[in-house]
Amino acid sequence: MIKPETEIECQRIIGESRVQMKEQVAAESYLELIIDEKNHVEFSFTAGFEEQLVIGNLIAAGKISDLKDIVQMELIDKRCTVRLSKSSVNEEEIENRRLKSVDFSKILEAGDILKLNQPHHKATRGFHAAIIMELTSGKWFACEDIGRHNAVDKVLGYGLQNGYKLSNSLMLLTGRLFSNIVQKAVNAGVAVIASLTVATDRGILIAKDSDTTLVGTLSKEGSWLYHEGMTKIRT
């Protein structure tokens, strides 16, 4: 098992002097995903939760909507092969299942949890983090990864694999809400998407087009409500 962090020898420049020191840095792993023997996806990621990474990537890409859509999955060393049987999805039905409202304090609670669950970032300053929280039950899962996309895939995959109702869930991350990050959460049917930092214009546009609630710079001091979608915020 490759550890998320590794120690290297390097020089630290302090003023006009150099000091030989040991530094903790993020360790990078590689995984190749082959879908139905033809589609290839390559990941540079943090070792751990490989199965959740793959499942999350599949739902975030809109290739599956349920674990039943995965007919076969084989994960050996740095290679994962999957065979899919995509079922038809009624998008209107998914939207109707989306959580109708949530207390803003619950979103802030998820932010506090995420900040407390970033040990690798604290050690190296080289990780992103994400959390999935089922707002109706309060259960949650957080993880770190060198890639913000990977962290998102992992929490979405964990949520799907562990019976979370994604339509009742919040996904919160530390990185910016780019269009492709927002699209991942929208494809997964997440009720609320949030970040500790800001969104881009296209990220906001995707949230508006899908009528998904989008929150940026999450903080008790002030947050941006870029779009209040089907899931209303109670303040």
Dihedral sign for Cα atoms in the order 64, 214, 221, 234: negative
More confident residue, 105 or 39: 105
User: In the predicted model, is pLDDT for residue 86 greater than 80?
Assistant: no
User: In the predicted model, is pLDDT for residue 1 greater than 90?
Assistant: no
Report pLDDT for 43.
Answer: 97
Residue ranges per domain, the chain? 91-234
Q: Helix or strand or coil: residue 26?
A: strand
φ, ψ of residue 114 in degrees (nearest 5) = -60, -40
DSSP state of 183: H
Q: At what angle do helices 50-60 and 179-188 cross, to 10 degrees?
A: 90
pLDDT digits (tens, 9 = 90+) for 213-230: 999 999 999 999 999 999
Report pLDDT for 2.
Answer: 74
Region 61-83 average pLDDT? 94
Nearest Cα to Cα of residue 216 among 234, 196, 202, 232: 196
User: In the predicted model, is pLDDT for residue 91 greater than 80?
Assistant: no
CA pair distance 23, 187, nearest whole angstrom: 39
pLDDT digits (tens, 9 = 90+) for 106-138: 999 999 999 999 999 999 999 999 999 999 999
Region 39-57 average pLDDT? 96
pLDDT digits (tens, 9 = 90+) for 155-205: 999 999 999 999 999 999 999 999 999 999 999 999 999 999 999 999 999
Q: Which residue has the tokens 């799907």?
A: 160
Per the structure block, which two tokens stand in for 169? 């869930």
User: In the predicted model, is pLDDT for residue 89 greater than 60?
Assistant: no
Report pLDDT for 97.
Answer: 80
φ, ψ of residue 172 in degrees (nearest 5) = -125, 135
pLDDT, the chain, mean: 94
Tell me the sheet residues that pair with 194.
172, 215
From residue 2, alpha-carbon distances to 36, 78, 144 in Å are 28, 12, 14
Report pLDDT for 93.
Answer: 56
CA pair distance 141, 171, nearest whole angstrom: 10
Report pLDDT for 3.
Answer: 85
Per the structure block, which two tokens stand in for 113? 């949890």
Q: At what angle do helices 179-188 and 148-161 cross, to 10 degrees?
A: 0
Q: Which fold has domain 91-234?
A: Cytidine Deaminase; domain 2 (3.40.140)
Q: How many helices (H) and strands (E) does the chain have?
A: 7, 14
Which range (9-23, 31-45, 86-100) has the least confidence?
Answer: 86-100
Q: Please give the helix or strand (H or E) that residue 61 lies within, else none.
A: none
